[in-house]
Amino acid sequence: MNAKLLKHDWSKHLILLLAGFITFYPFIFMLQTSVKSYYQFQHNFWLPTWPPNPLNYKDAFNSIWPYMINSFIVSGVTVFAVLGIASFAAYTFARYDFPGREILFLGILALLMIPGILTLVPAFLLIRDLGLIGTRWALILPYLSGGQVFAIFIMRSFIAGLPEELYESARIDGASNWHMFWRITMPLCKPILVTIGVMNILGTWNDYVWPLVTLPDDRLWTITVGIIRFTGHFQGLEAYGQMFAGYVIASVPLIVLFVFTMRAFISGLMSGAIKA
């Protein structure tokens, strides 16, 4: 039966596999070249070679790890801060009626339409005037501020959809607002928190222009900025093995994140697209 199914769809498989091969070959090339010596690279350009040279990874790691650490710190601090602040706000908007609720929420929604290209210049000047150029705060604060907008938007509708009976019975039991937030709402929000978290990490890990303009000092550079200098350095030495090993290392954190949160990762990618 399986063979029959395959036979019937063979033309589709052919197209999908061919397109898949073209899509993947650059990444396969990255992987195979990352363990090639200079000699192997020169003499066997297209195919994998034996034996592998794991030492390429040592060289690459030595020059790339400071950037990785910086990215970890910035993305890590940002994602937890965004989840915290957005949870507070989303819970408040979803579960309480207070004067000005609609207009305040509209004030957040409107920001979804403001593109980064509009605010780039004044935001840079603001960071400069606040004396934050060349500090991690130059990244974290704007990331936090911008990242919470979409997070609040998504979380508010999720929390508003939770059954009211939960809160009613909690109120009858005399639960405080804090208790209802922390003990009832947050545990139920875990899946959506993972999705928002993944989406946020994707955004901050991949951002290039903002760290480029706000961090003149290379000690704080994130991976996106650092990898360009890294490329220039190893390309100048014609050390292509090390160069591609660095690219692999730079990709590992997101791949690990993907493996552990596949479902949330995919919906994060899609909602990230809708946000833009």
Partner 1 sequence: MEALDQETASRGVAQAGTSLKTRPSWMITLDRMRRRSFCYLFLLPTFALLLTFNYYPAFSALYHSFFQWDGARFKQWHGIANFIRIFEDEVMRTAFKNMFIISGFGLVISITFPLVAAALIFHLRDLRFAYFYRVMYVVPMVVPGMVTLMIWRFIYNPQIGLLNTLLRSLGLPTRVWLGDFQYALYALIFIGFPWIAGTSMLIYLAGLQGIESSLLDAAAIDGASGIKRFWYVELPLVASQIKLIVILTLIGAIQGFTGPLVMTNGGPGTTTMVPGLWLYRNAMSYNKMGYACAIGTFLFIVTMVLTFLNLRFVQSSAEFEGA
Of 196, 205, 162, 204, nearest to 180 (Cα)?
162
Does residue 126 belong to the site contacting partner 1 (CB under 8 A)? Answer: yes
CB of 58: closest distance to partner 1 in angstroms?
Answer: 19
Q: How many residues bind partner 1 (CB under 8 A)?
A: 91
Mark the segment that binds partner 1 (CB under 8 A) among 49-57, 58-66, 138-146, 183-191.
138-146
Please list, in sequence order, all residues whose beta carbon lies within 8 angstroms of the beta carbon of residue 193, skipping any fewer than 6 positions away: 83, 87, 155, 186
Helix (H) or strand (E) holding 226: helix 223-236
Does residue 135 belong to the site contacting partner 1 (CB under 8 A)? Answer: no
Query: According to CB under 8 A, which one of 53, 92, 185, 204 is a site residue for partner 1?
Result: 92
Mark the segment that binds partner 1 (CB under 8 A) among 53-61, 72-80, 104-112, 189-197.
104-112
Does residue 95 belong to the site contacting partner 1 (CB under 8 A)? Answer: yes
Does residue 137 belong to the site contacting partner 1 (CB under 8 A)? Answer: no
Report how far residue 222's alpha carbon sits from residue 213's, in angstroms, rounded to the nearest whole number.
12
CB of 241: closest distance to partner 1 in angstroms?
Answer: 13
CB of 121: closest distance to partner 1 in angstroms?
Answer: 5
Closer residue to partner 1 in complex, CB, 100/187: 100
Does residue 274 belong to the site contacting partner 1 (CB under 8 A)? Answer: yes
CB of 146: closest distance to partner 1 in angstroms?
Answer: 6
- Cα–Cα separations (whole angstroms), residue 227 to 23, 32, 147: 22, 19, 24
Q: Which long-range contacts (CB under 8 A, 24 or more apart) does 55-58 make?
A: 56/239, 56/241, 56/242, 56/244, 56/245, 57/245, 57/248, 57/249
Identity at 125, one-letter amino acid code: L
Give the count of beta carbons closer than 10 Å to the beta carbon of residue 134.
15
Closer residue to partner 1 in complex, CB, 138/192: 138
Report how far residue 205's alpha carbon sits from residue 218's, in angstroms, rounded to the nearest whole number.
17
3-state secondary structure of 243: helix
Report how far residue 30's alpha carbon sits from residue 26's, in angstroms, rounded to the nearest whole number.
6
Does residue 89 belong to the site contacting partner 1 (CB under 8 A)? Answer: yes
Applying the rule CB under 8 A, the residues between 179 and 238 that interact with partner 1 are 205-206, 208-209, 213, 223-224, 227-228, 231
CB of 231: closest distance to partner 1 in angstroms?
Answer: 6
